[in-house]
Chain A
Amino acid sequence: MLHLALFLIFGVIAVVGAINLIAQTHPINSALSLVVVMGSLAAEYLLLGAEFLGAIQVIVYAGAIMVLFVFTIMLLNAGAEEQTRGSKVAIIIGIPGMVIGSVAVAWALIRAHTGAEVPVGSLYGSAQGIGHLLFRDFLLPFEITSVLILIAIMGAVVLARRES
């Protein structure tokens, strides 16, 4: 009962944070809204029994990546953005697209629901479970992904160091 209540509360916080992220005009406020979204997502992971993922979500996304965002905004001293009234394309294509997309996802989820309940924490949520998945079952994809990220970092360094 408490689990469900907390899950709903954090879900609402995440959605409100996401809307606030778009509605705010100042980049810092938007970035901080994103931090709130990340934090409540981490709480959702925790409530679903994915404790390791929840902690990593806070450490990596809310703690490191978003700090870099805030850092960049502070460094560039970005001011408040001007709010436009929105383009026609966004209204004509965007809103129906969003509705269709969310209906499709909801339909797929309802159809896939077999009625069998999965107790909280019965899936791979612990550090040990994630470790087994990453370093035993999916070792090759994991290593390839890390090489890919390394290449991206090297590419960024090359682009940043180009002398002109």
Chain B
Amino acid sequence: MPTGNLSVTTFVIASIIKIAIVLWVLLTAVAYTVWLERKVVGHIQNRWGPTRVGPFGLLQPLADGLKFIFKEDLTPPYVHKFLYILAPMLALSMSLIAICLIPFGNSVNIAGMNIPLQITDTNIALLIILGITSIAVYGVALAGWSSNSKYSLLGGLRASAQMISYEVALGLSLVGVLILCGTFSLHGIVEAQTGTWFGFIPKWNIFKGQFIAFFIYIMAAYAETNRIPFDLPEAETELVAGYHTEYSSMKFAMFFMAEYSNMVTVACLASILFLGGWTGPVFGPPILHALLPIFWFALRVLFFIFVYIWVRGTLPRFRYDQLMSFAWKFLLPLAIANVMITALVVALRS
């Protein structure tokens, strides 16, 4: 929707430029998250990780990408062809759409125009992201079913059950933040976290009593993105590769990219909802005023991605019944208790 001092034409042009930049940054971030993961997990396991392609193996993602493109694209016999092709597209497109609601910084002034640093903001942004992630489950579930393979099917079944279960805890962990901020708009949520107590403790939601919610969110998010210790849908030791066993070439790469771009989105959301988004000390000339918030935001996202990889290098996988009882018997009651206590405190204060 054209807002403020922008005409429709400038709005469209600015949006297209923003989409191109965000997509480029996201896909590069996805490629280098894979590199970072291999590197960090390598060092955790006392080996080097990729070193051969380029300095520090920095060109490894590029080589991997080229390899994916040139691999033979196999379609196994007896698959449900339409759904087999639709599934990776659904997974990737949903994970890319989710990023368009993420604000990367406050608005900047370019040539007298006030341009917000996010592709779009709506007053139900958070709900839309939740909706998109809930649709993304179909990518995984349908891939598992349409492949006509027992390993894929088991992976798909596990994925859909797991993602529905953890979505409940994920959604409830956000309610506390929403009660405190009083808005679904991600921009509004960050705005509500500006300022400090006593000049040095930032007013982030995590310090406003959403400490438990933060950890519920992190755990549920790991499960939503199928990461260790919740990576049962693609447990290599049991299911070959789970739901994407039968996929090859770019179709496999699409699942891969979807998983990592989901990681980036989840990390962005965690920093926006609990760690104050792009807030941070801003100083220096105007160019720094524009760039520093983005830097602070990227730093938080990088931190979350590092923790993701750290957890992967540290923890073993859950057993399936443990996974389910953890979601329903531990995370869910905890999340509900958090919502009730937050609501009570806010009601008593007002």
Contact = CB atoms under 8 A, between A and B. Distances in A.
A67 B131 CA distance: 13
B134 A51 contact: no
Nearest to A74: B145
Interface in A62-78: 62-64, 67-68, 70-71, 74-75, 77
Interface string A42-67: 10000000011001101100111001
Given A55-B127, A55-B131, A58-B134, A63 B167 contact: yes
A59 B83 contact: no
Nearest to B80: A28
Contacts, number: 74
Taking residues whose C-beta sits less than 8 angstroms from the other chain, chain A's interface range is 20 to 34
Contact of A74 (B122, B144, B167, B171): B144
Contacts of A20: none
B262 interface: no
A66 to B, nearest CB: 8
A58 B123 contact: no
Interface string B153-184: 10011001101100100010000000000001
Nearest to A51: B124
B130 A59 contact: yes
Listed from nearest, the 10 A-B pairs whose CB atoms lie closest are A63-B134, A55-B127, A58-B131, A71-B160, A74-B145, A59-B131, A51-B124, A55-B124, A67-B137, A59-B130
5 contacts: A32-B142, A62-B131, A63-B135, A67-B138, A71-B164
Interface of B: 80, 83, 122-124, 127-128, 130-131, 133-135, 137-138, 141-142, 144-145, 153, 156-157, 160-161, 163-164, 167, 171, 184
